[in-house]
Structure 1
Amino acid sequence: MVFFRSVTALSKLRSRLGQQSSLRDSVRWIQTQSSTDLELRSQLAELIPEQQERLKKLKADYGKVQLGNITVDMVIGGMRGMTGLLWETSLLDPDEGIRFRGLSIPECQKVLPAAKPGGEPLPEGLLWLLLTGKVPSKEQVDALSKELRTRAVVPDYVYKAIDALPITAHPMTQFTTGVMALQVESEFQKAYEKGIHKSKYWEPTFEDSLSLIARVPVVAAYIYRRIFKDGKVKQIDDSLDYGANFSHMLGFDDPKVYELMRLYVTIHSDHEGGNVSAHTGHLVASALSDPYLSFAAALNGLAGPLHGLANQEVLLWIKSVVDEVGENATTQQLKDYVWQTLKSGKVKPLTFT
């Protein structure tokens, strides 16, 4: 099973990191939360007005500054190479990998709260870091974890909407259907229909986003169990955190897999703004579509074979390599098979998205 092979890889990663003594002194300075306030919403209520003013000043002072030249290739290539978004939460570097608010993955492992001493960072901690730019305390992370558990209630009609699809429907089709079914409870849509000042858009957006984040693992786990297990909903365990609960609902209750899932969800929580799914979500939200609609659109972008579906496609391609040339293929055989794939007009799947 992929999960358990990944556990071994995780252990090796941590072993290598432990050998890097210089890591202890390499963490960049970043503000650590000193506030005793445990609510993420109240933290944002302080920060967002400041950011709104900051953006106004940025536009006033630099609104006419050119960021580069646009070529025909860029236009035909789907905006490739264009600077088109302001994205502060993460930066993907081709050499050193991704950074979240300036912190690398090993640095996040060092400074973010964990479920146990020396353990993997809790995804709730990275969510706090992404939204506030500050490293939270363990108490703040625990409070956020508890709030997410209370929000993780999925109405029966969501399961019925998914069940209306054939069990053979692709998991991403089922996933998008589940998210769209959740949309009928959108707080943003209700607030907009009643009338709300645009400076307050963030409040119902926050409510929708946090509820969506809480419910997504429940929906995803149900789809997995519908296709591969008994098709029954496995309830959340109130004693577990976000990542561990996802593993639990999938049916994996090994503590090592809990740790794997905490790290897996943490490092996949943000992926810069220029990829298909993140850009799509940003674009759809710009029309004042609520977070459910925007996230569903992003999922549909993610489902494409040149984006998230590449993870599936590469496994199928590797299987075809094994079927064609065997498990002990030579370098030349692999090169020949790659060229055979390309010359057939197919895209060689990538192992990253």
Structure 2
Amino acid sequence: MSETNYSQITPIIEDLAKKSQKASYINPELYSTYNVKRGLRDINGRGVLVGITDISEVNATKRVGDAIIPCDGELYYRGYNVQDIVRNQSADNHFGFEEVIYLLLFGQLPTEKQFTDFKKLLSDYRSLPPNFTRDVIMKKPSQDMMNTLARSVLTLYAYDANPDQTSPVNVLRQCLQLIANFPLLSVYGYQVYKHYYENGSLILHNPNPALSTAENILHCLRADSSFSPLEAKLLDVCLILHAEHGGGNNSTFTTHLVSSSGTDTYSAIAAALGSLKGPRHGGANIKVIQMFADMKKQVRDWTDEGEVKQYLSDLLDGKVFDKAGLIYGLGHAVYSISDPRAITFKGFVEKLSREKGYEKEYALYQLVARLAPEVIADRRKIYKGVSPNVDFYSGFAYQMLGLPVELYTPIFAIARIAGWSAHRMEEISSDSKIMRPAYMTVQPHRDFVPMEDREETSLQED
């Protein structure tokens, strides 16, 4: 559609959109009237049980006698506490994300030989089809890297000699290739975007087979391919903590939902990417970074508790930043007292802040982490505790690493493809049915009216 034609029909579309919006509106009170769990969650934020998984577990409560009370959050991968997984990574040049991928896919921690063989397999798969970068990534680059990533995934379908076969062996092969290539698809997509839209130099490094996923991201992204051991270690920990988060998070549930129809791997993963792209899911840390940027402009003394507290109050009142009335990075759909990912990640972020000279910024983050729950509790009725989530720290970590904002959500996808793949394997390997949840219809029945007898009504009369 040409730009001229688009401008001519805009008033028509605007009018039709108002009609569609009015016809599509559901009164929120009806959810209570009919006891429908809006968003598949109860009033305490607990998800409605829709399936069974063996892959991961998210805990935020514990039973004491007959009562269920909030507790420090816990996250388990295949029965292993993720904090133990990170804590037990050796201090040498060992990187744990590949180990977590193996654990999620195969249910066990690998032996040394299994781990060596698996890393070699991923390295062998870490190459795009001939001319794919030129013919796909470099043609009509998108300004959004998640769209670039999704388009690349869907296009890889055409390069697969057996794309629609959904046997476990074929799906596993497809998943491993996608896991291996997500860093290349993401970073190359950004480099091309930077070249065409920001007039930057176009530098595309080939992946180094001797490097881990985290190291290869930094190697391919930076012009000089250099990075410190702490930078790579922090990014590796970030990938571990984002690799999986239960079957009910929006993008993973999307993977189950779409996979249950029997569709191909590329379509299922592209659908998950579309879900993760949303600012309520994978894009949340960008809002945190933007909020802190505004805060640092408006708060003169970052150490003044009163001044910081006033800014947080103004956030809730919708007076500052995006005027949405939200403090970003605080609270979670499941966790209340603490997010174990945030607790684990915080120590690595503190170390990097010292290496990079961001101590004042880190102190501000810590001050907000302490004051924000108090401000929220004083101002609003909440059904469970509020604490910093992993997005509160991840954007700050990426900022210190010098990563472009355009790659924040794709890095989330580079990690979460491990969990999506495990859940897709679980869906096709189990005796599952196509998912078809029920919706209650509240539209009353009407008698059909012949066209010559219909009267046009305004939006006010509808």
TM-score, reference length from structure 1: 0.68
Secondary structure at 1:234's aligned position in 2? coil
User: Residue in 1 aligned with 2:206?
Assistant: 235
- Aligned residue identity for 1:335: S
Q: How much does 1:76 deviate?
A: 3.1
The CA distance in 2 between the partners of 1:253 and 1:133, in whole Å, is 32
The CA distance in 1 between the partners of 2:282 and 2:319, in whole Å, is 20
- Aligned residue identity for 1:246: I
- The higher radius of gyration belongs to 2
User: Residue in 1 aligned with 2:217?
Assistant: 246
User: Residue in 2 aligned with 1:208?
Assistant: 174
The CA distance in 2 between the partners of 1:71 and 1:92, in whole Å, is 30
Q: How much does 1:287 deviate?
A: 1.3
* Contact 1:158/1:181 (<8 A) preserved: no
User: Residue in 2 aligned with 1:310?
Assistant: 284
* Contact 1:159/1:178 (<8 A) preserved: no
- Provide closer, same or farther for how the CA distance between residues 345 and 105 of structure 1 changes in structure 2, counting only shifts above 3 A: same
Q: How much does 1:102 deviate?
A: 2.0
Higher normalized contact order (CA 8 Å, seq sep 6+, divided by chain length): 2
Secondary structure at 2:76's aligned position in 1? strand
Q: How much does 1:110 deviate?
A: 4.9
The CA distance in 2 between the partners of 1:187 and 1:83, in whole Å, is 38
Q: How much does 1:217 deviate?
A: 0.9
User: Residue in 1 aligned with 2:324?
Assistant: 346
Task: Select the residue among 39, 52, 60 that pairs with 1:77.
Answer: 39
The CA distance in 2 between the partners of 1:334 and 1:163, in whole Å, is 43
User: Residue in 2 aligned with 1:89?
Assistant: 55
User: Residue in 2 aligned with 1:289?
Assistant: 263
Is the counterpart of residue 101 in structure 1 residue 63 in structure 2?
A: no
- Provide closer, same or farther for how the CA distance between residues 140 and 344 of structure 1 changes in structure 2, counting only shifts above 3 A: closer
Q: How much does 1:79 deviate?
A: 5.0
The CA distance in 2 between the partners of 1:74 and 1:121, in whole Å, is 45
Residue deviations 1:37-79, cap 9 Å, x none?
A: xxxxxxxxxxxxxxxxxxxxxxxxxxxxxxxxx9945443345
- Provide closer, same or farther for how the CA distance between residues 139 and 246 of structure 1 changes in structure 2, counting only shifts above 3 A: farther
* Equivalent pairs, count: 272
The CA distance in 2 between the partners of 1:269 and 1:343, in whole Å, is 31
- CA RMSD for the aligned pairs? 2.9
* Contact 1:165/1:174 (<8 A) preserved: no
Residue deviations 1:159-193, cap 9 Å, x none?
A: 533333355x122122212222222234653536x
Secondary structure at 1:191's aligned position in 2? coil
- Aligned residue identity for 2:38: I
User: Residue in 1 aligned with 2:310?
Assistant: 332
Q: How much does 1:274 deviate?
A: 0.8
Alignment of 1:34-45 (within 5 A): none
Q: How much does 1:125 deviate?
A: 1.0
The CA distance in 2 between the partners of 1:233 and 1:266, in whole Å, is 26
Q: How much does 1:238 deviate?
A: 1.8
User: Residue in 2 aligned with 1:260?
Assistant: 234
The CA distance in 2 between the partners of 1:79 and 1:111, in whole Å, is 35
Secondary structure at 2:274's aligned position in 1? helix
User: Which stretch of the first structure deviates more once superposed, 157-166 or 265-274?
Assistant: 157-166
The CA distance in 1 between the partners of 2:171 and 2:161, in whole Å, is 7
* Contact 2:156/2:266 (<8 A) preserved: yes
User: Residue in 2 aligned with 1:217?
Assistant: 183
The CA distance in 2 between the partners of 1:239 and 1:76, in whole Å, is 48
Q: How much does 1:269 deviate?
A: 1.2
Secondary structure at 1:333's aligned position in 2? helix
* Contact 1:145/1:242 (<8 A) preserved: no
Q: How much does 1:254 deviate?
A: 2.2
Alignment of 1:34-183 (within 5 A): 72=34, 74-79=36-41, 81-94=47-60, 95-111=72-88, 117-118=91-92, 121-155=95-129, 156-166=131-141, 169-183=143-157
The CA distance in 1 between the partners of 2:275 and 2:245, in whole Å, is 14
* Contact 2:102/2:110 (<8 A) preserved: yes
* Contact 2:295/2:311 (<8 A) preserved: no
The CA distance in 1 between the partners of 2:314 and 2:185, in whole Å, is 42
- Aligned residue identity for 1:157: F
Alignment gaps of 5+ in structure 1: 1-69, 193-200
Secondary structure at 1:98's aligned position in 2? strand
* Contact 2:96/2:240 (<8 A) preserved: yes
- Provide closer, same or farther for how the CA distance between residues 253 and 324 of structure 1 changes in structure 2, counting only shifts above 3 A: closer
Secondary structure at 1:246's aligned position in 2? helix
- Aligned residue identity for 2:185: V
Alignment gaps of 5+ in structure 2: 1-31, 61-71, 195-199, 330-388, 392-462
Q: How much does 1:215 deviate?
A: 0.7
- Provide closer, same or farther for how the CA distance between residues 142 and 241 of structure 1 changes in structure 2, counting only shifts above 3 A: farther
The CA distance in 1 between the partners of 2:77 and 2:279, in whole Å, is 26
Secondary structure at 2:57's aligned position in 1? strand
TM-score, reference length from structure 2: 0.53
The CA distance in 1 between the partners of 2:283 and 2:325, in whole Å, is 13
Q: How much does 1:331 deviate?
A: 0.9
* Contact 1:122/1:243 (<8 A) preserved: no
* Contact 2:205/2:220 (<8 A) preserved: yes
Q: How much does 1:300 deviate?
A: 0.8
Q: How much does 1:90 deviate?
A: 1.4
- Aligned residue identity for 1:184: A
User: Residue in 1 aligned with 2:252?
Assistant: 278
Q: How much does 1:293 deviate?
A: 1.3
Is the counterpart of residue 269 in structure 1 residue 209 in structure 2?
A: no
The CA distance in 2 between the partners of 1:343 and 1:320, in whole Å, is 6
Residue deviations 1:15-34, cap 9 Å, x none?
A: xxxxxxxxxxxxxxxxxxxx
- Provide closer, same or farther for how the CA distance between residues 343 and 327 of structure 1 changes in structure 2, counting only shifts above 3 A: closer
Secondary structure at 1:93's aligned position in 2? strand
The CA distance in 2 between the partners of 1:347 and 1:273, in whole Å, is 30
User: Which stretch of the first structure deviates more once superposed, 337-346 or 103-112?
Assistant: 337-346
The CA distance in 2 between the partners of 1:320 and 1:170, in whole Å, is 23
